[in-house]
Structure 1
Amino acid sequence: MRVRDILDAPQLRMRLLHGDENELERTVARVCATDMPDPRPFVTAGALVCTGLVWRHDATDSDRYVGLLAEAGVVGVVAGQALHGRVPEDVVAACKRHGLPLLSAPQSVPFSRIIEYLAERAAEVRWRRVQSRADRQRRLLSAVAAGKGIESLVADFAAEQHVSAWLLTSTGTVVAGTEDLAESDLDRIVATALTAPRLPAVTVGAMRVLQVGAGDRITAWYLVFRPSVPELDPFGADLAAVAELYRQRRADRQHLDWELADRFPVPFAEQSDLGSVAIVCAARDGEVSAVRAVLHDALPGLATSIDQEGRLVGVTDGTQDGVAAVVNQRLSRIVPALNGVRLAVGVGARRPDETLAAAIGAASAACTAARDEAAPISLRVADIDSAVGLLTAVPGGLQRRFAERVLGPVLDYDRRHSAGLLDTLAIFLGCEGSWRQAADRMHLHLNTVRYRIGRIEELTGRDLGRIDDRLDLYLAVRTLAGQTAPV
């Protein structure tokens, strides 16, 4: 209710003493009556204050008293006339100064009638909302019974409430929406959905997030509205309840497919219609189902099963790098909800002359290597087209031990003498073994480079003229530089 509604109520017979158009449009949250010398403990922000002016002993009191009301955040003042027979001009002037609309109540209208009027109007509004919500619930259930899609229901809701609306999964996959969302918006929405102490919550960017379904936030869906309007929560809850029917229906179908695939497994190698990119993911037993749902959410065409080691094995269409990028992005979004659980993922692609089993084997090796990493989500691509790529399939700890064994004496010598041997070796190998190019790049005399390379050969027992020794040193240098980690 607005201040204007109080003024226009015929049964209250109010008279406007001060108030412009904007001031009269203020929302009245409640009505308070007080004549205490300091009214602040007895009024709240958003209140319309009724006062009999008992506190006014002379004209100087008005500015102080009205100033205290304005400081408390009230939306207006109703002044009684019983004490002074009128509302003094100094009270009117004080309300003008502090930007508070001032109404005058006739002596025949007690303040209790104003309070009762507001309560009756509030009850009417609440009843209309209940009726409106009941009507909306009936329409939603009728639409579901008629087979209407969730996309149409979200669009209808957004049009009716004059907002933008989306239905998302925990990885940022849009199930339904009224417009496109930027990846940065999806990141903010998912972060809010998974980390907010309670929902509904508001994101940076003023989008309101409601959870669809109770319990696990990773497998839940989320309704998102823009702009954030708290008054929509009851109506949003109705749409969320209907969306939960669709989510549960999809989850039931998915779990039935998984149960059949796990109980009566058909080796992927015997299914010629599957894709060419394999994914292997290792997680704790209790998390495999949630991770499986996340991967199916990120890759709609994915076919999965559980191998003998309890790892999730999947096959899908696409390119190796494209699938790896999607999986890494979507899994990274759910990190806040993993509660310390670590996921190791390997991705491998089938080459034209290879079987699908070879791609799964490569992805499995990459997954094993990824388990050695400490990050919450560790993803490795089985890039086995080169010696450096092949090394990525080796666990990180084993890579580092290899590098330290090969270059340990060089590292120790550099620590004791600051000789720069490791840097010289890296540049020399980067110049494809050219003494002159290495010397020019390092601004050193040619003989200095020759001396340093000779010292490296003595310390490591390797001959840089031999291709196998040069490869050992090259891989060791790349490992120490962190360049064998997956992209």
Structure 2
Amino acid sequence: MNPRIDRDIAGSIDETESKQRFPIVRSSKPADPAATTADPRPEGVTIVLLQDVLDAPELGIRLLHGDAAALTLPLHRACTTDMPDPTRYVSAGSLVFTGLVWRRAPEDSEAFVAHLARAGVAAVAAGEALFGEVPADVVDACARHGLPLLAVPDDVPFSSVIEFLTRRWSGARMDRLQTGLARQRRLLAAFADGHALDELLARVCREFDVPAWLFTATGTLVAGRDTIGEPVIDACCAIALTAPRLPAETADGHTVLPVGAALRDRTTAWFLVLGAGAARSEDCVDAFTELATVAALERVRREDRLRAVWDTADARGVADTAGATHPAGTPLVAVVVERAPTGTPEQRIALRAAVHDVLPSCVTGLDAAGRTVAVVAGTESAVVATLTRRLGRLAPALAGARIVAGVSSTCAGESIDGGIRSAESAAAIARGDAGPVSVRAAELDSAVGLLSAVPDRVRRAFADRTLGRVLDYDRRTRADLMTTLETFLDCDGSWRRTADRMHLHPNTVRYRIGRVEALTGRNLAHIGDRLDVFLAMRALG
């Protein structure tokens, strides 16, 4: 037969290109006629089985090889081919019709059937017109490879069988559509009545006896009651963020379904994960796809609530909002998260939303540089571990950009401003790290690091007491004492190096530093006084 005709016939009767296929169950046991009398379909599920072809009296098709399990195989497609190597013209789950034109000698049967078995077809339907019957070598080859074999009488054209299957598939599609609409109406009604998303997910899981989970792109669990390991979540997140289209399947058989617009910024996406093997049932996938529509509504609802929380935090300030949210004495941790390069306003908002996914109870704001500043109850080590794992899952979707985060040590309400400064310093260090995502904890192994954890009002008061008169003198005289002092400290107190860097005479440097000492009451030749002045300058920011 012409290969082009093969492709046209196969394409014209394909039930659906996008559905997941059932696994092929094969056996070399002889046929059991008694097993053909019971309908194996679950109640309410409409699918086309190999048994349906045998049960149609007008077709007169007989089973030459296959057991009871073979008769329960769902058929999704019919292909007609007489090519010696039919691999290009058949697909998994197909019922393959052949007129046996390819058979020139008995040994040809082994090669033809082996090709079909490797392609994963559901069954073979051989016409009897050419030889008056299906040759024994064809039957034997199908038995060796575990392929069910049907005999099509010489007076029954393949087109009649294909028309029969097409009508059944059309009816099955309509039944599934009606069942899906009814199920979706029930889910929407339950959601409108206030039933939680976790409860609705549990209902569908019980209906199909399939575990399932609803996640954000960072792997934060939204709904789902079964246990699932972190490595599985990692794999599912990677698929959800990188697959060219969804649904998609992980290497271990978990199915990932989109929730809402899956191809927009996936770092803010939600997705459903079905337990391994769930994709074998089209009705199951349809049901969870309908649930995903309801989940998309919940996602929009949560986004609206989050925006309201943001407005409050932005109006009051992160530190004040966090202090008012948590009881006095609650251990708090400050976090600064940024995208490098900074990105668009939408990307900054997406990163802020991701921080809320990772740290659901946090208070956030955006600083002048567009960074997300967060305050959350907890400990430094726990926050670092959570950020590292969950923000790390966004790496596949960053497309060359980076996410860096700094985490402060534990602070109380009155020292939140200091914690934020400490987190900013840690984030600055994280920028120098390699890799798409870096999280750094603040280091309190230096005087500057210790100062950053001091409450902001205390730090400002210290700076004003130490350098206030110098600042006032500069404002009145423009003597540039502060610049000279900063350069002098940066040059380790060297008059010559300071003069060279500022292009001044050393005596000018000595005069200016003398004025600083007179105004501050500190002797910069003494290490303690010099440290006080250095820390005061750092406190000024």
Under a length normalisation based on structure 2, what TM-score does the superposition of the two structures give?
Answer: 0.64
Going from structure 1 to structure 2, the CA distance change for 1:13 and 1:298 (only over 3 Å counts) comes to: same
Pick one of 185, 188, 191 that aligns with 1:141.
188
1:282 aligns to what?
338
Residue 385 of structure 1 and its aligned partner are, at CA, apart by 5.7
Going from structure 1 to structure 2, the CA distance change for 1:8 and 1:315 (only over 3 Å counts) comes to: same
Going from structure 1 to structure 2, the CA distance change for 1:14 and 1:191 (only over 3 Å counts) comes to: closer
1:222 paired to 2:271: yes
Pick one of 100, 110, 116 that aligns with 1:72.
116
In 1: Cα distance, 2:291 partner to 2:314 partner: 34
1:15 aligns to what?
62
2:357 aligns to what?
297
In 2: Cα distance, 1:302 partner to 1:337 partner: 24
In 2: Cα distance, 1:207 partner to 1:129 partner: 23
Residue 264 of structure 1 and its aligned partner are, at CA, apart by 4.5
Residue 107 of structure 1 and its aligned partner are, at CA, apart by 5.0
Pick one of 301, 314, 322 that aligns with 2:382.
322
Going from structure 1 to structure 2, the CA distance change for 1:103 and 1:317 (only over 3 Å counts) comes to: closer
Going from structure 1 to structure 2, the CA distance change for 1:8 and 1:329 (only over 3 Å counts) comes to: same
Q: What does 1:145-160 correspond to in 2, within 5 Å? A: 145-160=192-207
In 1: Cα distance, 2:111 partner to 2:69 partner: 19
In 2: Cα distance, 1:353 partner to 1:104 partner: 81
Residue 203 of structure 1 and its aligned partner are, at CA, apart by 1.7
Q: SS of the residue aligned with 1:282?
A: strand
1:203 paired to 2:250: yes
Q: SS of the residue aligned with 2:267?
A: coil
Residue 51 of structure 1 and its aligned partner are, at CA, apart by 5.1
1:347 aligns to what?
407
1:399 aligns to what?
none
1:192 paired to 2:239: yes
Contact 1:268-1:357 within 8 A present in 2 as well: no
Residue 245 of structure 1 and its aligned partner are, at CA, apart by 0.6
Contact 2:211-2:274 within 8 A present in 1 as well: yes
Q: SS of the residue aligned with 1:218?
A: helix
Going from structure 1 to structure 2, the CA distance change for 1:129 and 1:302 (only over 3 Å counts) comes to: same
Contact 1:62-1:94 within 8 A present in 2 as well: no
1:247 aligns to what?
299
Any gaps of 5 or more consecutive residues in structure 1?
A: 394-404, 407-467, 469-487
Residue 218 of structure 1 and its aligned partner are, at CA, apart by 0.7
Going from structure 1 to structure 2, the CA distance change for 1:67 and 1:221 (only over 3 Å counts) comes to: same
- CA RMSD in angstroms, aligned pairs only: 3.4
Q: One-letter code of the match for 2:366?
A: I
Q: One-letter code of the match for 1:279?
A: V
Pick one of 160, 167, 188 that aligns with 1:113.
160
Residue 225 of structure 1 and its aligned partner are, at CA, apart by 0.5
Q: SS of the residue aligned with 1:13?
A: coil
Any gaps of 5 or more consecutive residues in structure 2?
A: 1-47, 454-490, 493-526, 528-541
Q: SS of the residue aligned with 2:60?
A: coil
Q: What does 1:381-460 correspond to in 2, within 5 Å? A: 381-384=441-444
2:15 aligns to what?
none
2:514 aligns to what?
none
In 1: Cα distance, 2:358 partner to 2:63 partner: 62
Contact 1:56-1:62 within 8 A present in 2 as well: yes
More displaced, 81-90 or 253-262? Answer: 81-90
Q: One-letter code of the match for 1:208?
A: T
Contact 2:318-2:364 within 8 A present in 1 as well: no
Report percent identity of matched pairs. Answer: 44
Going from structure 1 to structure 2, the CA distance change for 1:234 and 1:111 (only over 3 Å counts) comes to: same
Going from structure 1 to structure 2, the CA distance change for 1:185 and 1:11 (only over 3 Å counts) comes to: same
Contact 1:350-1:356 within 8 A present in 2 as well: no
2:90 aligns to what?
44
Under a length normalisation based on structure 1, what TM-score does the superposition of the two structures give?
Answer: 0.70
Q: SS of the residue aligned with 1:193?
A: helix
Q: SS of the residue aligned with 1:163?
A: coil
Contact 2:363-2:375 within 8 A present in 1 as well: yes
Contact 1:383-1:392 within 8 A present in 2 as well: no
Residue 313 of structure 1 and its aligned partner are, at CA, apart by 2.1
Contact 1:38-1:65 within 8 A present in 2 as well: no
1:251-291 deviation digits (Å, cap 9, x = unpaired): 11111221232245475289354352112233426333122
In 2: Cα distance, 1:381 partner to 1:316 partner: 15
Going from structure 1 to structure 2, the CA distance change for 1:118 and 1:260 (only over 3 Å counts) comes to: same
1:105-164 deviation digits (Å, cap 9, x = unpaired): 445544332222211211121111111111111111111221111101111121222211
Going from structure 1 to structure 2, the CA distance change for 1:27 and 1:71 (only over 3 Å counts) comes to: farther
Q: SS of the residue aligned with 1:198?
A: coil
Q: One-letter code of the match for 2:382?
A: G
Q: What does 1:23-38 correspond to in 2, within 5 Å? A: 23-32=70-79, 36=82, 38=84
Q: SS of the residue aligned with 1:172?
A: coil
Pick one of 336, 349, 360 that aligns with 2:396.
336
Residue 373 of structure 1 and its aligned partner are, at CA, apart by 3.7
Contact 2:352-2:372 within 8 A present in 1 as well: yes
Q: One-letter code of the match for 2:185?
A: R
Contact 1:211-1:221 within 8 A present in 2 as well: yes
In 1: Cα distance, 2:367 partner to 2:88 partner: 69
Going from structure 1 to structure 2, the CA distance change for 1:26 and 1:329 (only over 3 Å counts) comes to: closer
1:41-64 deviation digits (Å, cap 9, x = unpaired): 89524444445566778xxx3442
Q: One-letter code of the match for 1:294?
A: A
1:6 aligns to what?
53
1:130 paired to 2:196: no
